């Protein structure tokens, strides 16, 4: 950047980098230096199949750029392996990648590679770009984001993503990638509004907007970072952590016990335990107790629910809601039962001090959910997040389908972006068609004194009715094809 400015003072070097949470250079340092971030995240590949890859990149950029420009490069050509650099990508796949760019707060950048002849032989991509950029131009003011209004922060843990090899029971290069997918999908399925937070940006002034901080197996944390998380909790914030979170320092040196043990009320009783046939189960203690703890809402007619593939054994804790039923063999069937069906080893440790609540899962629950898709694990995470946030949702979206949402404060007021992922190709291949969704009812908690003038849905390009009462704005988006934006203009 200094060299660029030697030639011309208003020149700058921009970082051309993708990789989202697994980016190599320290994103906190890059965010402080650069003026412009070029997110080279051109499309889905078979190594990273999930549809939300561009949105994930946008959340990471928002975590480190402090409002500076991030542009995402969307390839109009066919990405993947094998790839075709002179053939157009499926139109719906290209549109959803562009939509994720705008929804997540980045600037769309659409390109095609080839010589003059290659540029012109396959022209299908040109209509996609012409229509999309024409539409965004008509509504440009509503895409000028100021800040996210989410009340949940998910710690990126860039050091863990790059250096942590997974537990000794697994040692997989994809371990943290699968963990990231698991918590991301769980948050989308629960329709929670969330941001990413970089591990080097945990100062109180950055965390004060959040009700909950989630640490999905963020294994590497310095003593200072552990202190910052504890300070957040002392100020009334809640914390959810799992598995080996804080068992390593910033240099990947293993601690004898958790760095967050005092905050979470936990103590290690042994090293990581994997699965030998049947993974461990979590026993619901006193399942008929009334009232029961909110994290076990919806679990009826069972004493056991699935645990995770791997866990850290814990010393006994007071009044556990879930305890560990140790794993056992799957075959032969005659031996498929636990030698010890009831223990005092906690599967989750819950604490509450004032407004602050903490929850620690001893297993790698997020990754196991991603590997299995088990609904019990999803329900348990959703219940726990709702308990930790005291049921507070700044944006509540009710309706059918798998959607991703972003809610921004904008120049005219606010904007709620709705991305429709309801499709058999959401986690494999490319979208070939869109499965439209029906009505989505949205409630937003607004600051006091805000008066709403209008709500417009930008794809349909029309205003819709709304009600506003006691700082809560409510309206219904009648339908979503691939992407819709509810633009709220305030007085």
What gap in Å lies between CA 213 and CA 227, rounded to an integer?
A: 14
Question: Which pLDDT does position 153 carry in this prediction?
Answer: 98
How many other CB atoms are found less than 10 A from the CB of residue 224?
Answer: 11
Query: What integer is the mean pLDDT of 45-50?
Result: 73
Least confident among 47-56, 68-77, 109-118, 304-313: 109-118
For the whole model, what pTM was predicted? 0.96
Higher pLDDT, 47 or 150: 150
Residue that is written with structure tokens 């004194």 in the block = 449
pLDDT reading at 277 higher than 90: no
DSSP 470: T
Question: Which pLDDT does position 289 carry in this prediction?
Answer: 79
The torsion angle over the Cα atoms of residues 333, 339, 341 and 344, rounded to 10 degrees, is -150
Higher pLDDT, 152 or 430: 152
List of E strands, 192-298: 194-197, 212-215, 238-242, 281-284
Q: What is the pLDDT of residues 447-465, one digit of tens each?
A: 999 999 999 999 999 999 9
Question: Which pLDDT does position 119 carry in this prediction?
Answer: 67
Query: What integer is the mean pLDDT of 198-225?
Result: 98
Please, how many CA atoms are within 13 Å of residue 193, restricted to the half-sphere of its CB?
27
Omega of the bond prior to 97 within 30 degrees of 0, cis? no
Least confident among 43-52, 123-132, 242-251, 423-432: 43-52
pLDDT reading at 353 higher than 80: yes
Question: Which pLDDT does position 172 carry in this prediction?
Answer: 84
Question: Which pLDDT does position 197 carry in this prediction?
Answer: 98
pLDDT reading at 116 higher than 70: no
* Mean pLDDT over the full length of the chain: 94
What gap in Å lies between CA 340 and CA 345, rounded to an integer?
A: 12
Least confident among 111-120, 294-303, 351-360, 404-413: 111-120
Higher pLDDT, 289 or 473: 473
Question: Which pLDDT does position 46 carry in this prediction?
Answer: 65
| Cβ atoms of residues 178 and 371 within 8 Å | yes
What gap in Å lies between CA 132 and CA 172, rounded to an integer?
A: 40
Question: Which pLDDT does position 117 carry in this prediction?
Answer: 63
Across the beta sheet with 356-361, the strand order is 194-197, 152-155, 212-215, 238-242, 356-361, 348-353
What gap in Å lies between CA 186 and CA 167, rounded to an integer?
A: 22
pLDDT reading at 471 higher than 80: yes
Question: Which pLDDT does position 220 carry in this prediction?
Answer: 98
What gap in Å lies between CA 238 and CA 234, rounded to an integer?
A: 9
Q: What is the pLDDT of residues 66-108, one digit of tens each?
A: 999 999 999 999 988 888 888 999 999 999 999 999 999 999 9
User: Per mean pLDDT, which of 165-179, 210-224, 336-350 is the most reliable?
Assistant: 210-224
């Amino acid at each position: 950047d200094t060299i660029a400015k030697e030639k011309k003072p208003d020149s700058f070097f921009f970082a051309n980098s993708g990789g989202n949470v697994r980016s190599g250079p320290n994103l906190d340092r890059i965010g402080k230096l650069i003026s412009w971030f070029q997110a080279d995240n051109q499309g889905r590949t078979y190594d990273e199949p999930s549809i939300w890859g561009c949105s994930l990149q946008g959340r990471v950029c928002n975590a480190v750029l402090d409002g500076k420009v991030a542009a995402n490069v969307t390839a109009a050509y066919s990405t993947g392996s094998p790839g075709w650099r002179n053939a157009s990508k499926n139109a719906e796949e290209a549109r959803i990648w562009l939509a994720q760019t705008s929804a997540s707060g980045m600037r769309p950048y659409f390109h095609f590679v080839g010589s003059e002849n290659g540029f012109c032989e396959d022209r299908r991509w040109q209509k996609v770009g012409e229509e999309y950029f024409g539409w965004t131009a008509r509504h440009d003011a509503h895409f000028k984001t100021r800040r996210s209004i989410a009340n949940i922060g998910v710690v990126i843990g860039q050091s863990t993503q790059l250096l942590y090899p997974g537990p000794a029971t697994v040692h997989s290069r994809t371990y943290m990638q699968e963990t990231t997918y698991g918590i991301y999908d769980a948050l989308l399925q629960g329709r929670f509004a969330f941001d990413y937070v970089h591990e080097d940006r945990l100062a109180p002034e950055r965390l004060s907007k959040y009700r909950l901080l989630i640490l999905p197996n963020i294994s590497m944390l310095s003593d200072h970072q552990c202190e910052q998380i504890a300070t957040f909790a002392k100020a009334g914030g809640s914390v959810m952590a799992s598995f080996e979170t804080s068992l390593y320092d910033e240099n990947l040196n293993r601690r004898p016990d958790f760095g967050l043990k005092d905050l979470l009320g936990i103590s290690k009783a042994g090293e990581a335990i994997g699965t030998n046939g049947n993974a461990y189960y979590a026993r619901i203690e006193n399942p008929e107790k009334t009232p029961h703890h909110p994290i076990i809402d919806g679990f009826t007619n069972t004493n056991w629910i699935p645990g995770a593939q791997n866990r850290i054994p814990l010393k006994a804790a007071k009044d556990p809601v879930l305890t560990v039923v140790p794993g056992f063999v799957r075959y032969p069937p005659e031996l498929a039962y636990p030698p010890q069906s009831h223990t005092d080893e906690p599967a989750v440790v819950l604490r509450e001090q004032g407004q602050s609540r903490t929850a620690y899962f001893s297993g790698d629950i997020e990754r196991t959910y991603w590997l299995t898709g088990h609904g019990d694990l999803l329900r348990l995470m959703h219940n726990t997040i709702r308990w930790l946030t005291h049921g507070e949702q700044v944006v509540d979206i009710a309706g059918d389908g798998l959607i991703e949402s972003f809610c921004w404060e904008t120049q005219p007021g606010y904007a709620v972006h709705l991305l429709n992922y309801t499709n058999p190709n959401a986690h494999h291949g490319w979208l070939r068609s869109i499965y439209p969704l029906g009505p989505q009812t949205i409630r937003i908690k607004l600051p006091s004194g805000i008066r709403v003038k209008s709500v417009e849905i930008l794809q349909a390009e029309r205003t819709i009715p709304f009600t506003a009462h006691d700082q809560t704005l409510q309206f219904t988006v009648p339908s979503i094809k691939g992407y819709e934006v509810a633009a709220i203009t305030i007085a």
